[in-house]
Amino acid sequence: RILGFINGVLGHTSCVRGTILLDMLRELHEELGSPADYGSSGGPPAFDEAAELVDVGPNLVGRMQRLAPAAAAQWLAMVEAAAGDSVTLLIVSGFRSYEYQAALIRKKINAGQLVTDILQVNAAPGHSVHHTGLAVDIATPGSRPLTEEFEASEAFRWLGANAARFGFSMSYPRDNPWGIVYEPWHWAMNR
């Protein structure tokens, strides 16, 4: 499984660490029932976990969120610039570890969802841009978080016009090549 991940991990980490990560990810993918070709034919690319993270503030439920240092600085600058234009940007989710990503998927499986459906919404462990610490899920008051409703918000319009100045772009536009549903709330700093 996770054939597409092998080159990514071994190309970016030491062989020993890469082998340990591969074994862990293989076990997670097997446990979760990821398709055998996930990541090698379609699906999001593989990502390493961020090596360094900094706190950027609590999310909507008070859980501290963290981002890679460069993304943290740009996120905070973007939030401040939006506020200057009377737009509120709130962080829902920042960095996610491989295990945290697996826990999100386990929770949905335990609720009776099919893994094929889940993988259209949540990338499999090792394939979420959230692992890099460069991605944020964004909300704004008056719009339900993590729904397409966000695209009708002033915050979404502001991001469309301004996010690139801070190095961010929407990760999963409509009809994206990775098979992830349209996520107007998911923005990542360009690598």
Average pLDDT value over all residues in the chain: 88
Q: pLDDT digit string (tens) for 81-129?
A: 999 999 999 999 999 999 999 999 999 999 999 988 999 999 989 999 9
Out of 151-155, 171-175, 187-191, which region has the weakest mean confidence (pLDDT)? Answer: 187-191
> In the structure encoding, which two tokens stand for residue 55, read together?
């706190």
Mean pLDDT for 49-58 is: 97
Give pTM, 2 decimals: 0.85
Distance CA 105, CA 29 (A): 10
What is 15-57 written as a DSSP string? HHHHHHHHHHHHHHHHHHT--TTTTTSSSPPP-PPPS--EEEE
Nearest CA to 53 out of 153, 136, 154 is that of: 136
Q: pLDDT digit string (tens) for 40-52?
A: 766 788 899 999 9
Identify the residue with better confidence: 75 or 42: 75
CA angle, 65 then 68 then 69, to 5°: 105
Distance CA 65, CA 54 (A): 8
Out of 2-16, 102-116, 139-153, which region has the weakest mean confidence (pLDDT)? Answer: 2-16
Length of the chain, in residues: 191
Query: What is the model's pLDDT at position 22?
Result: 76
3-12 helix and 15-32 helix, angle to the nearest 10 degrees: 150
- Mention every residue, 6+ apart, whose C-beta is less than 8 A from residue 20: none
